[in-house]
Chains A and B, each alone.
Chain A
Amino acid sequence: MMRFIIEKRTTKSKYSVFIVPLVSFAISLLLGAIVLAASKANPFAAYKAMFEGSFGNIRRIQYTLREAMPLLMCGLAVGIAFKLKFWNIGAEGQYVSGAIGFTWVVQFWTFLPPVLLLPVGLLMGIIAGGLWAGVPGTLKAQWGVDETLTTLMLNYVAIGYAEYLYIDHWKAPFGNMGTPKFPDAAILPSVWGRVHAGVFFALALVVILWFILYKTRWGFELNMIGKNPKAARYQGVSIKKNIIMAMLFSGAIAGLAGAIHTSAVAQKLTTGVNGNYGFTGIIIAWMGGLNPFGSIIVAIVMAALSTGAGQLQIALKLPEAMGAVLQGLVLLPLLAGSLFNEYHLRVIKKGAE
Chain B
Amino acid sequence: MNQTQSVEPIVRMENISKRFPGVIANESVDLTLMQGEVLALLGENGAGKSTLMNMLAGLYRPDSGSIHIRGTHANIQSPQDSMALGIGMVHQEFMLVGNMTVAENIVLGMKDLPFVPDIDSINARIIELSDRYGLKVDPQAVIHDLSVGEQQRVEILKLVYRGADILILDEPTAVLTPGESHELNNIVKIMLSEGKSAIFITHKMDEVIEFSDKVQVLRRGKTVNICNTADVTPKDLANMMVGRDVLFSLDRCPYNPGGVKLKVEQVTVNNPLGGRPLLDDVSLEIHRGEILGIAGVAGNGQQQLAEVITGLVRCDRGNIYIDGMDKTNNTPLSFIKAGVSHIPADRGAMGIVGDMSVGENLAMKKYRTKEISKGVVIKKNFLRMFADKLIDTFSIKTPDQGTSVKYLSGGNIQKTILAREIDSCGGILIAVYPSRGLDVGATEAVRQNIIAQRDQGNAVLLVSEELEELQMVADRIAVMFEGKIMGTRNVKDTNTEELGLMMAGAVSRGA
In whole Å, how far is A150's beta carbon from the nearest beta carbon of chain B? 24
A217 contacts across to B, CB distance below 8 A = 367-368, 373, 376-378
Does A201 sit at the interface, judged by CB under 8 A? no
Does A332 sit at the interface, judged by CB under 8 A? no
Given A230-B349, A231-B351: A224 and B21 within 8 A (CB)?
no
Of B150-158, B189-197, B354-362, the one with at least 4 CB within 8 A of chain A: B354-362
Does B54 sit at the interface, judged by CB under 8 A? no
Number of A interface residues, CB 8 Å?
26
Does B333 sit at the interface, judged by CB under 8 A? yes
| Cross-chain contact of B365 among A10, A11, A230, A235 (Cβ < 8 A) | A235
In whole Å, how far is A116's beta carbon from the nearest beta carbon of chain B? 31
Does B233 sit at the interface, judged by CB under 8 A? no
User: Smallest CB-CB separation from B337: which chain A residue?
Assistant: A236
Asked if residues A220 and B367 are in contact (CB atoms below 8 Å), the reply is yes
Given A216-B376, A217-B376, A234-B342: A10 and B22 within 8 A (CB)?
yes
B352 contacts across to A, CB distance below 8 A = 228, 231
| Cross-chain contact of A234 among B63, B310, B356, B404 (Cβ < 8 A) | B310
A234 contacts across to B, CB distance below 8 A = 310, 312, 332, 342, 344, 350-351
Asked if residues B353 and A220 are in contact (CB atoms below 8 Å), the reply is no
Asked if residues B378 and A215 are in contact (CB atoms below 8 Å), the reply is yes
Distance A7 CA – B20 CA, assembled complex (angstroms): 10
Does A8 sit at the interface, judged by CB under 8 A? yes
Given A11-B407, A215-B378: A238 and B333 within 8 A (CB)?
yes
- Chain B, range 324-363, C-beta contacts under 8 Å to A: 331-333, 335-337, 342, 344, 349-356, 360
User: Smallest CB-CB separation from A232: which chain B residue?
Assistant: B353
Distance A10 CA – B404 CA, assembled complex (angstroms): 10
B332 contacts across to A, CB distance below 8 A = 233-236
- Chain A, range 222-252, C-beta contacts under 8 Å to B: 223-224, 227-228, 230-238
Per-residue CB proximity of A192-236 to B under 8 Å, as 1/0?
000000000000000000000001111110011001101111111
A169 contacts across to B, CB distance below 8 A = none
Most B CB atoms within 10 A — which of A7, A12, A219?
A: A12
Distance A233 CA – B311 CA, assembled complex (angstroms): 10
The interface size bin for chain B is: 20 to 34
Does B409 sit at the interface, judged by CB under 8 A? no
In whole Å, how far is B409's beta carbon from the nearest beta carbon of chain A? 12
Does B66 sit at the interface, judged by CB under 8 A? no
B376 contacts across to A, CB distance below 8 A = 216-218
Asked if residues A12 and B342 are in contact (CB atoms below 8 Å), the reply is no
A7 contacts across to B, CB distance below 8 A = 21
Asked if residues B360 and A220 are in contact (CB atoms below 8 Å), the reply is yes
Does B319 sit at the interface, judged by CB under 8 A? no
Asked if residues B404 and A12 are in contact (CB atoms below 8 Å), the reply is yes
Asked if residues B333 and A228 are in contact (CB atoms below 8 Å), the reply is no
B378 contacts across to A, CB distance below 8 A = 215-217, 219-220
Does B364 sit at the interface, judged by CB under 8 A? yes
Does B449 sit at the interface, judged by CB under 8 A? no
A9 contacts across to B, CB distance below 8 A = 21
Does B283 sit at the interface, judged by CB under 8 A? no
B312 contacts across to A, CB distance below 8 A = 233-234
Asked if residues B360 and A11 are in contact (CB atoms below 8 Å), the reply is no
B63 contacts across to A, CB distance below 8 A = 353
Asked if residues B344 and A236 are in contact (CB atoms below 8 Å), the reply is no
Does B78 sit at the interface, judged by CB under 8 A? no
Asked if residues A224 and B310 are in contact (CB atoms below 8 Å), the reply is no
B365 contacts across to A, CB distance below 8 A = 235-236
B342 contacts across to A, CB distance below 8 A = 234
Asked if residues B22 and A224 are in contact (CB atoms below 8 Å), the reply is no
A230 contacts across to B, CB distance below 8 A = 349-350
Given A7-B21, A12-B404: A223 and B356 within 8 A (CB)?
yes
In whole Å, how far is A340's beta carbon from the nearest beta carbon of chain B? 15
| Cross-chain contact of A224 among B364, B404, B407 (Cβ < 8 A) | B364
Distance A46 CA – B367 CA, assembled complex (angstroms): 53
| Cross-chain contact of B336 among A216, A220, A227, A236 (Cβ < 8 A) | A236
A218 contacts across to B, CB distance below 8 A = 376
User: Smallest CB-CB separation from A225: which chain B residue?
Assistant: B353
A353 contacts across to B, CB distance below 8 A = 63
Does B28 sit at the interface, judged by CB under 8 A? no
In whole Å, how far is B31's beta carbon from the nearest beta carbon of chain A? 21
A227 contacts across to B, CB distance below 8 A = 353-356
B310 contacts across to A, CB distance below 8 A = 234
| Cross-chain contact of A228 among B353, B404, B407 (Cβ < 8 A) | B353
B355 contacts across to A, CB distance below 8 A = 227-228
A219 contacts across to B, CB distance below 8 A = 378
Does B403 sit at the interface, judged by CB under 8 A? yes
Distance A185 CA – B63 CA, assembled complex (angstroms): 75
Asked if residues A215 and B331 are in contact (CB atoms below 8 Å), the reply is no
In whole Å, how far is B456's beta carbon from the nearest beta carbon of chain A? 23
Asked if residues B353 and A224 are in contact (CB atoms below 8 Å), the reply is yes
In whole Å, how far is B306's beta carbon from the nearest beta carbon of chain A? 11
In whole Å, how far is A191's beta carbon from the nearest beta carbon of chain B? 31
In whole Å, how far is A36's beta carbon from the nearest beta carbon of chain B? 39
Distance A318 CA – B74 CA, assembled complex (angstroms): 62
Per-residue CB proximity of A293-305 to B under 8 Å, as 1/0?
0000000000000
Distance A164 CA – B323 CA, assembled complex (angstroms): 62
Distance A218 CA – B333 CA, assembled complex (angstroms): 15
Per-residue CB proximity of B310-323 to A under 8 Å, as 1/0?
10100000000000
A223 contacts across to B, CB distance below 8 A = 353, 356
- Chain A, range 273-321, C-beta contacts under 8 Å to B: none
| Cross-chain contact of B356 among A10, A224, A237 (Cβ < 8 A) | A224
Distance A12 CA – B355 CA, assembled complex (angstroms): 10
In whole Å, how far is B94's beta carbon from the nearest beta carbon of chain A? 22
A238 contacts across to B, CB distance below 8 A = 331, 333
Most B CB atoms within 10 A — which of A215, A228, A231, A238?
A: A231
User: Smallest CB-CB separation from B372: which chain A residue?
Assistant: A217
User: Smallest CB-CB separation from A218: which chain B residue?
Assistant: B376
Distance A11 CA – B377 CA, assembled complex (angstroms): 28
Asked if residues A231 and B353 are in contact (CB atoms below 8 Å), the reply is yes
In whole Å, how far is A247's beta carbon from the nearest beta carbon of chain B? 20
A232 contacts across to B, CB distance below 8 A = 353
Asked if residues B367 and A231 are in contact (CB atoms below 8 Å), the reply is no
Distance A161 CA – B336 CA, assembled complex (angstroms): 47
Distance A224 CA – B357 CA, assembled complex (angstroms): 11
Distance A217 CA – B368 CA, assembled complex (angstroms): 7
In whole Å, how far is B430's beta carbon from the nearest beta carbon of chain A? 11
Question: Can you spell out 28 A-B residue pairs with CB atoms less than 8 angstroms apart?
Answer: A8-B21, A10-B21, A11-B403, A215-B378, A216-B376, A216-B378, A217-B373, A218-B376, A220-B360, A224-B353, A227-B353, A228-B353, A228-B355, A230-B350, A231-B350, A231-B353, A232-B353, A233-B312, A233-B332, A234-B332, A234-B350, A234-B351, A235-B332, A235-B336, A236-B332, A236-B333, A236-B336, A353-B63
The 8 closest A-B pairs by CB, nearest first: A236-B333, A228-B353, A236-B336, A10-B21, A10-B22, A227-B355, A236-B332, A235-B364
Q: A216-B378, A219-B378 are in contact. List 6 more A-B contacts (CB 8 A).
A: A215-B378, A227-B353, A228-B349, A228-B354, A234-B332, A234-B351
A residues adjacent to B (C-beta < 8 A)? 7-12, 215-220, 223-224, 227-228, 230-238, 353
B residues adjacent to A (C-beta < 8 A)? 21-22, 63, 310, 312, 331-333, 335-337, 342, 344, 349-356, 360, 364-365, 367-368, 373, 376-378, 403-404, 407
